[in-house]
Structure 1
Amino acid sequence: MVTLDWKTGFEIELMAPAGRSRRDLAGAVAAHVGGSVERFFHPQSEPSAVEGRPVFENLTPGFRVVDGQGRWVASFVDDLTLQRDLDRERPALAGWRRIVADDGRLLRLVELHCDPYAAGDRTLEPLAALFGTEAQRHGAGMVRVVDANGRSVAIDAPLPGERERPCEIVTAPIKTDHAAVLEGLLAEGRRLGFVVPVEGASHVHFDGEALCSARAVAGLVEVWTRHGEALKRLVGTNRQCVRLGDWPEGLRALTASPAFAAMGWAEAKAALAGVGMSKYCDLNLMNLLTGRSDKHTVEVRVLPASLEVEPLIDGAALFEGVLGWCRDRGSEEPAPGTLVELLIRAPMNEAARGLWLGRVRRNNAAFAQRIRPYSSGPAGGGREPAAEIL
């Protein structure tokens, strides 16, 4: 049986069936754990077509489930990358609204001073009071707050196009019994008819404390540079998923340098912060650098979404082994030369090791079968395959 030892948090992207919402799943999970649902403002950002404003910051309705002792179980939030399953022409549902600004600091004021339970279009009235103005109501249910000089502060508007249906489950950090915890969440999703979205992915946050060294980060960058594409093929990364991609080129040059290897963690963090990293990549290292104690993680973003627990645990176990090798590597130990060698040397659950080595063998056998027609002709007459699939 595949199990996990690392403290991890999961983010699993799902889609509610038409006529249901992420609030429905939050309510079902709350009933399952004997807890309750708390509504909150969920921050996220989206690209902007307005010149001079690269992104718009958003607050959308999120639902946090706590158990009977008030302990956080999971949150159920929107994800703006989930688009293709939605009917964008559908009108907004009553009570489902979003707040938009071009500066995240303004939305932080909304989170601190406004009520996520406020009825209708009254949510931003406390924000207007902070700026000494009154909320301006416009057509189609839009509410605008400006400062004393008439400059826009924030806009509250109905949430369009079935945006109540996307549901990213964000779990609390899980220390033990990972499969049982996830099953308690996903079983309710299956029962309510939730599905995997076209663009769906699952993200796994691994506690970052053991990876806070120049040695570990350099090892991770080297391993992913050498084996990242093969690992993505192995786990079946969703090609429709957005906000994935590579690190900035300067990261490899930095972490491969002798100067980086000699740095203490504080100096290494400062150097890493200077290469222009983003969270929107295959492996997100940003949370190691921010100093947030509630999200001090390495985030693996390449796993497919799933309503079943087993593939999530299997995928997390694979990357638990990869990160474990980076944690344990010697100061000048190079990354394993092949993926098979990495799987053999990585400190992972033995059931997981057997599972993933078996998948490598099957994938390579299938690849060999596919390229056989190109290599079975007369000597020199066939096309050579570029490489094994893994």
Structure 2
Amino acid sequence: MTRGVTLDWKTGFEIELMAPPGLSRRDLAKATAKRVGGTVERFFHPQSEPSAVEGRPVFENLTPGFRVRDGRGRWVASFVDDLTLQRDLDRARAPLAEWRRIVADDGRLLRLVERHCDPDTTGDATLEPLAALFGTEAQRHEAGMVRVADANGRSVAIDAPLPGERERPCEIVTAPIEADHEAVLEGLLADARGLGFSVPVEGATHVHFDGEALCSARAIAGLVQVWTHHGEALKRLVAVNRACVRLGDWPAGLAELTAGQAFAAMDWAEAKTALGGVGLSKYCDLNLMNLLTGRAEKHTVEVRVLPASLDVARLMAAAGLFEGVLGWCRDREPGETTPGTMLELLMRSPMDDVARGLWLEQMRHDKAAFT
């Protein structure tokens, strides 16, 4: 039997899929829970989206998410909405009963909802505990919306029917995987294939690599140099989905900062402070923000340029490629030069041999793009 790609790095995957009409991400969560002998928990999943309202750049949302735990109570994966997935949906379709979202213009208010309201509440009563916190009563409107305001009439949050098939988008968010990555992913993707899930028009896969080994000025400087020199070629190699949104470049100041001798001499605490001042965002090709936030549960470097797929071999190969690239950054010696060509990068990166062979073969098939 031919060996597949093996990963050594602890990783988490976020795979964007689309349920067929008539099914939802909850159906996939139930299928996975049945396979692992576990349970499904409903929870509030936070998201943000641009706002057309003057003075309010974003609306914060809570949408229905479903967390699967195995028979021993261990988190397996979560199945959540992703607001960037739009083009596969019939926006004129009427909302389904019990599928609602909660909207506010301040994420702190939604943290109160998460803390004091029950995601399993049926009907339109979810925000009643929030109204009680503000000493008011929930206001119900004919369109099905429920509004909570403070005693001065200022809006706090709105609970509204979830529109236009928004139950169908499904981002599978895995628990961190330390071993047997292929088997874990194949189980989840087989569940999705069995229900007829598909790859969305805007779909992407995000891979979170444990960031501990990259917490040095030397490693980050190497990563910035590699991506500056080879980012476009790497995106072409993995066939980045050009319809995917929320990708893009780092701020220009990052390359300038990390190229200097002063940055190279910094310890990690100093480097974090410096990196925090260049305007980094999570919505870019490689997200470094999670290294700076101090959240132990998500201390990662996130690769966001991989296309969505239901093919586990394809996802493993792509993850193996970036494990190798990040490994070069981790192992980079002081003063070591960045590989000058994609071929040199593949050969010098400490990646799985099967993955290396697959990507070298891909480059041979598309010689013009990588010379």
Is TM (by shorter chain) over 0.5? yes
The C-alpha deviation readout for 1:134-177, integer Å capped at 9, x for no partner, is 11111211000111111110000000000000000000000000
**Aligned with residue 53 of structure 2, among 28, 32, 50:** 50
1:316 counterpart = 2:319: yes
TM-score (norm 1): 0.94
Question: Counterparts in 2 of 1:146-165, with a 5 A limit?
Answer: 146-165=149-168
Alpha-carbon contact 2:342-2:370 (below 8 Å) kept: no
Cα drift, residue 60 of structure 1: 0.0
Look up the match of 1:348: 351
Letter in 2 for 1:239: R
Distance 1:273 1:327 in 2: 20
Structure 1 gaps, min length 5: 368-387
1:187 counterpart = 2:193: no
Distance 1:357 1:138 in 2: 60
Distance 2:357 2:190 in 1: 27
Letter in 1 for 2:338: A
The C-alpha deviation readout for 1:247-281, integer Å capped at 9, x for no partner, is 00011111111111110101100110111110000
**Aligned with residue 358 of structure 1, among 361, 364, 370:** 361
1:171 counterpart = 2:174: yes
**Aligned with residue 331 of structure 1, among 329, 334, 353:** 334
1:139 match: secondary structure: coil
Cα drift, residue 308 of structure 1: 1.2
Look up the match of 2:107: 104
Structure 2 gaps, min length 5: none
The C-alpha deviation readout for 1:218-271, integer Å capped at 9, x for no partner, is 000000000000000000000100000000001111111111111010110011
Look up the match of 2:145: 142
Look up the match of 2:28: 25
Cα drift, residue 9 of structure 1: 0.3
The C-alpha deviation readout for 1:35-90, integer Å capped at 9, x for no partner, is 00000000000000001111000000000000000000000000000000000000
1:141 match: secondary structure: coil
**Aligned with residue 210 of structure 1, among 208, 213, 222:** 213
1:237 match: secondary structure: coil
Look up the match of 1:119: 122
Question: Counterparts in 2 of 1:55-94, with a 5 A limit?
Answer: 55-94=58-97
The structure with more radius of gyration? 1
Q: How many residues align?
A: 368
Cα drift, residue 2 of structure 1: 1.1
**Aligned with residue 242 of structure 2, among 211, 236, 239:** 239
Q: Determine what percentage of the aligned residue pairs are the same residue.
A: 80
Distance 1:257 1:224 in 2: 17
Look up the match of 2:6: 3
Cα drift, residue 351 of structure 1: 1.1
Distance 2:23 2:355 in 1: 36
Letter in 1 for 2:280: M
Cα drift, residue 357 of structure 1: 1.1
Cα drift, residue 347 of structure 1: 0.4
Distance 1:163 1:94 in 2: 12
**Aligned with residue 41 of structure 1, among 41, 44, 50:** 44
CA RMSD of aligned residues (A): 0.7
The C-alpha deviation readout for 1:98-120, integer Å capped at 9, x for no partner, is 00001100000000000001111
Distance 2:127 2:335 in 1: 56
1:168 match: secondary structure: strand
Cα drift, residue 21 of structure 1: 0.1
The C-alpha deviation readout for 1:6-52, integer Å capped at 9, x for no partner, is 00000000000000000000000000000000000000000000011
TM-score (norm 2): 0.98
